[in-house]
Amino acid sequence: GAVVSQHPSRVICKSGTSVKIECRSLDFQATTMFWYRQFPKKSLMLMATSNEGSKATYEQGVEKDKFLINHASLTLSTLTVTSAHPEDSSFYICSVLDRGIEQYFGPGTRLTVT
């Protein structure tokens, strides 16, 4: 299966600041990547679908101006949490779609906003 990396694995930031999370497809070119959020003891919730070269498609209830997604190349998508608040603290997981068949998940990024 595809190899996906995320950076950083953990980040702590102060309330009001912005933080960028990178998702990289290491062994193939991914035109589609997905961003999920997982709160403690909860399931994964899709935030947005990231398409290379076009605007991301956000799920209902996800603020596109707060969660900025850029998929500028076939191997990299970034998620920027702007003006972070403590309630944004969560586990953020990206996935890449391999040949339109299966999603492969990154190792996740744990964000803590103080």
Partner 1 sequence: ELKVEQNPLFLSMQEGKNYTIYCNYSTTSDRLYWYRQDPGKSLESLFVLLSNGAVKQEGRLMASLDTKARLSTLHITAAVHDLSATYFCAVEETSGSRLTFGEGTQLTVNP
Widest CA span in the chain: 39
The rounded distance, in Å, linking the Cα atoms of 90 and 56 is 20
Copy the structure tokens of residue 97: 């779609």
Q: Pick from 43, 54, 61, 87 the residue near partner 1 by CB under 8 A.
A: 43
Q: Is 31 left (phi over 0), alpha (psi -120 to 50) or beta?
A: alpha
Residues touching partner 1, count (CB under 8 A) = 21
* Contact flags string 52-91 toward partner 1, x per CB under 8 A: ----------------------------------------
* Contact flags string 5-34 toward partner 1, x per CB under 8 A: ---------------------------x-x
The residue behind tokens 């990396």 is 5
Q: Which stretch binds partner 1 (CB under 8 A): 12-20, 72-80, 81-89, 99-107?
A: 99-107
